[in-house]
């Protein structure tokens, strides 16, 4: 996962803010994060044995002899092989808080599956922004004289009424312009001026 800059962290912090909008620059900052893969920190056998041993020492378990205890510990080690050490630690803490008896491998794995690393959380936030984040609207390009001439009369009137264009823009585009700027000999007043 790429290291997060303060700018990327600021954008990701807004991921679940319903009023947040994201600019093209914001999207460019978080796109590499969204395509990243969170790294795992697999627990080694020693860590697994310590974690299971801690659970066994802290929680009551079914009585078994030494041979059965070794087999059981080996089964835990085999089944928990490859688990992220941070997820294992999280799962063991939850087991000690939530359970009254030594957890089964399944109970440990279920809790470990709920753990989300900080990297994975940032990746999920970035993907959420890309998927459903509101984008800033770019300002519309300026309307040129050719664009104004191409509009139907009704749209020009609506544009002036709504304030998107001025009557002066329309007059200039249609060749009316300001009388002071043009040749007064071709000036024809409109009906309103008469």
Please state, in angstroms and rounded to a whole number, the distance separating the CA atoms of residues 194 and 191: 5
Which pLDDT belongs to residue 2? Answer: 63
In eight-state DSSP terms, residue 84 is B
Which pLDDT belongs to residue 48? Answer: 96
Any idea where the domains of the chain sit in the sequence? 6-39+118-135, 45-114, 145-186
In eight-state DSSP terms, residue 185 is G
Candidates 14, 42, 35; CA nearest to 26 is 14
- Digit-by-digit pLDDT tens for the chain (194 residues) are 667 888 899 999 998 888 889 998 999 999 999 999 988 899 999 999 999 999 999 988 887 788 888 999 999 999 999 999 999 999 999 999 999 999 999 999 999 999 999 999 999 999 999 998 888 877 777 788 888 888 898 988 888 898 888 888 888 888 864 444 444 444 444 555 44
In eight-state DSSP terms, residue 116 is -
DSSP assignment of 5-63: PHHHHHHHHTTT-TT-EE-HHHHHHHHHHHT--PPP-BPPHHHHHHHHHHHHHHS----
Candidates 7, 50, 59; CA nearest to 28 is 7
Which pLDDT belongs to residue 191? Answer: 53
């Amino acid at each position: 996962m790429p290291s997060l800059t303060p700018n990327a962290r600021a954008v990701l912090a807004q991921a679940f803010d319903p009023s947040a909008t994201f600019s093209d620059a914001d999207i460019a900052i978080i796109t590499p994060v969204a395509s990243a893969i969170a790294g795992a920190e697999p627990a080694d056998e020693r860590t697994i044995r310590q974690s299971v041993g801690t659970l066994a020492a802290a929680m009551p378990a079914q009585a078994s002899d030494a041979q059965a205890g070794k087999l059981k510990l080996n089964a835990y080690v085999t089944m928990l092989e490859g688990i992220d050490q941070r997820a294992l630690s999280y799962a063991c803490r939850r087991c000690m808080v939530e359970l009254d008896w030594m957890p089964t491998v399944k109970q440990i794995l279920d809790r470990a599956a709920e753990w989300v690393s900080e990297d994975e959380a940032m990746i999920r936030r970035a993907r959420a922004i890309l998927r459903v984040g509101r984008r800033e609207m770019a300002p519309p390009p300026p309307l040129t004289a050719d664009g104004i001439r191409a509009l139907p009369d009704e749209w020009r009137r609506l544009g002036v009424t709504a304030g998107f264009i001025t009557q002066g823009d329309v007059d200039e585009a249609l060749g009316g312009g300001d009388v002071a700027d043009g040749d007064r000999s071709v000036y024809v007043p409109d009906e309103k001026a008469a």
